[in-house]
Structure 1
Amino acid sequence: MVAQLLLEAANLMFIGMVAVFAFLLLLVFIVQLISAFMLRYFPVKLAEKASRIDSGSSTTSPAIVAAISAAVHQYRQKQ
């Protein structure tokens, strides 16, 4: 009786793990397919990539860099 229940539980666990693995595999495949479709029919222009990178980086003033450097130096001296 107990062995039969354990066998049934192991069977259900195996079926569940296979189902989850199959779903995740299908999900990865669909995401890659959509990515390839988007890159093929709606390519990102090189100028747009460069402007996104440039807009994200801001110039930091030398005073802020000096303050951060001093704080790091002071922290390292305490240890």
Structure 2
Amino acid sequence: MESSIPELLLAGSRLMLIGMTIVFLFLALLVGVIHATSRLLGRYSPEEPIVLKPASTVPVRNVGGEDEAEIVAAITAAIHRYQNKQGTF
């Protein structure tokens, strides 16, 4: 049985429309289920008001003198350690 090109195109178009309809209906059902779930959760478990706490104030250190020397020493030690680890791999 040999089918002609127009018959094959018509069969392909029908199959495409059936597939697109099934996907569309599935997605519409999925959106409906998600919407219904959202409404149910909103009804039976209302959100509690969020209470924001003021940010704690952290004392700012003066970056100068001894503090700066400690930072430079820490950075230098980290660089030295990193460079020594590179050779071990």
Give the TM-score band, short-chain normalised: 0.5 to 0.7
Determine helix, strand or coil for the equivalent of 1:30: helix
1:60-75 correspondence to structure 2 within 5 Å: none
Gaps of 5+ in 2: 58-89
Aligned residues: 54
Alignment correspondent of 1:15: 18
- CA shift digits 1:28-67 (9 cap, x unpaired): 00000000000000111113xx44xx6xx9x9xxxxxxxx
Amino acid at match of 1:2: I
Q: Which runs of 4+ in 1 moved over 3 A?
A: none
CA distance in 2, matches of 1:39, 1:46: 14
Gaps of 5+ in 1: 60-79
CA distance in 2, matches of 1:23, 1:36: 20
User: Looking at both structures, which has the greater relative contact order when contacts are Cα pairs under 8 Å and sequence separation is at least 6?
Assistant: 2
TM-score by length of structure 1 reads: 0.59
For 1:2, which of 1, 5, 9 is the aligned residue?
A: 5
CA distance in 2, matches of 1:26, 1:33: 10
CA RMSD of aligned residues (A): 2.5
Determine helix, strand or coil for the equivalent of 1:46: coil
Amino acid at match of 2:20: M
Q: Percent identity?
A: 38
TM-score by length of structure 2 reads: 0.53
CA distance in 2, matches of 1:11, 1:42: 46
1:30 aligns with 2:22: no
